[in-house]
Structure 1
Amino acid sequence: MEKTRGDGGELTVHGLNKSWSAYKALRDLSFEQPEGTILGIAGDNVAGKSTLLKVLASVLSRDSGEIHFRGVSLDDRLRWRAMIGYVPQELALDDRLRVRETLSFWAAARGFSRSGRKGFLEMAATDPLVSGFLEKPIRECSGGMARRVSLIVGLLGDPLLLLLDEPFAGADRDSRELIKGRVDLLRSRGRTILVASHEEEILITLCNRVLTLQDGVLTAASAETA
């Protein structure tokens, strides 16, 4: 039987287009990325990086194109959303809450039971990403702390495909190292991760491969590394 696109464990994007009126945000974008690797998405602030991740997160609809991961189509919304974790560039954190309350809120929103939320918070209390400031109000968190909280939220449910949009923006050196360390650990556990950033030097050291977008067009792709 002939193999169809996306039957394997890889992420496949073929002929992806997205536009608003006359503005073309993504233009005939195609790529594949093996499972258990990190793909960097580089480009300036209007390159289409965030649009790509929002489409992959099923936050935005696409005009055309095929997208599959582990044999599941993006069109199968329930199965697709069960596999992904999305951390947007815009921080969706309520500054009236403490970090612990924020994590509990998002765990409940993702369907965790009372006992599940309790276990999640116990785990967070030992997690280097957030363990040192669980009682701090979000409004008092630094940019790096807020990015770390958002990453923990994005990891709820242990997603197989993780989409990170500018995860290092506003982060101090220690926070950057913690975030990079967690991303690398997730790769070692077989997770597939897309990291969009305008800081290409970080992507080069962290990722197995880097794609460069310009005005929604794929203009360069680095060689795959181990």
Structure 2
Amino acid sequence: MIEIIDIQKRYGNQVALSIKKLEINKNELVGLVGNNGAGKTTLLSLILDLIAPTSGFVTSKSVKVSDTDAWKSYTGSFLNEGFLIPFLNPVEYLSFIGRLHGINETDVLGFLEENKLFFDINVFSEKYIRELSAGNKNKVGILASILSKPEFLILDEPFSNLDPSSQSWLKSKLKDLSKEGVTVIISSHDLKHVTEICSRILLLEEGRIVKDANTSNETLIELEKYFEI
């Protein structure tokens, strides 16, 4: 579904990312792991055409993402709170996202009702997004990313600032989406969460993929050992 060919991203003389070839297949649930500065967010940003590669290209369904906006109709994403609109309340923001995808407000409210165990909109309906905690901003962004029932979903550090119950809900939701045929890429510093739900792990170090393997019972132990100081 996603193919990365000869991608390199440089900032001056510094190589932030360098990948010869990478394929993400339909229906995979892929976890990106690595220390800060390893290139995880850079990779996700290149896939979403948020930044331009120094060289190489990314395709989605065999079409370069830089050549068309067609992929946006079936792609959901949330990388950080910069995706949000701070002067709207959560319902207004999600309704705005819904309109972009042809979803009416009644269906948006129904979607929120279905997912109220993750984020109870009634508790926060009068607050602007800028007034929410980091965890609740994250929840709004995650819900916005899945509102349109995307074929392809990208989340950067989705478990960050979430309470344990919300983390558990999100893990179940991501596994359910994968079972429904959604291709998912998440990055996370939480090795336990990633290895619990992802079918494939990509380990990045200094902008390069140093390990690409299907998840097994030994994966968590291997990753914890890799990151030991």
TM-score normalised by L of structure 1: 0.84
2:11 pairs, out of 6, 20, 24, with 20
Q: Deviations over 1:119-142 (max 9, x none)?
A: 222321232333453525235544
Residue of structure 1 equivalent to 2:114: 126
1:177 pairs, out of 168, 174, 194, with 168
Q: Does 1:135 align with 2:122?
A: no
Q: Does 1:84 align with 2:75?
A: yes
Residue of structure 2 equivalent to 1:6: none
Q: Does 1:36 align with 2:27?
A: yes
Range with bigger deviation, 55-64 or 93-102: 93-102
Contact residue 166 and residue 198 of structure 1 kept, 8 A: yes
Range with bigger deviation, 128-137 or 15-24: 128-137
Q: Percent identity?
A: 25
Measured in 2, the distance between the counterparts of 1:111 and 1:223 equals 34
Measured in 2, the distance between the counterparts of 1:166 and 1:76 equals 28
Q: Deviations over 1:77-105 (max 9, x none)?
A: 22122221110133533454432222123
Matches within 5 A, 1:1-226: 10-108=1-99, 110=100, 112=102, 116-128=104-116, 129-131=118-120, 133=123, 135-137=125-127, 138-139=129-130, 141-223=132-214
Range with bigger deviation, 69-78 or 211-220: 69-78
Alpha-carbon deviation of 1:32?
A: 1.6
Unaligned runs of 5+ in 2: 217-229
Measured in 2, the distance between the counterparts of 1:179 and 1:147 equals 11
* RMSD, matched Cα: 2.2
Which amino acid in 2 is paired with 1:58? Answer: D
Unaligned runs of 5+ in 1: 1-9
Which amino acid in 1 is paired with 2:74? Answer: M
Over 3 Å counting, the alpha-carbon distance change for 1:144 and 1:80 in structure 2 is same
TM-score normalised by L of structure 2: 0.83
Over 3 Å counting, the alpha-carbon distance change for 1:47 and 1:202 in structure 2 is same
How many equivalent pairs are there?
213
Measured in 2, the distance between the counterparts of 1:45 and 1:136 equals 36
Over 3 Å counting, the alpha-carbon distance change for 1:150 and 1:172 in structure 2 is same
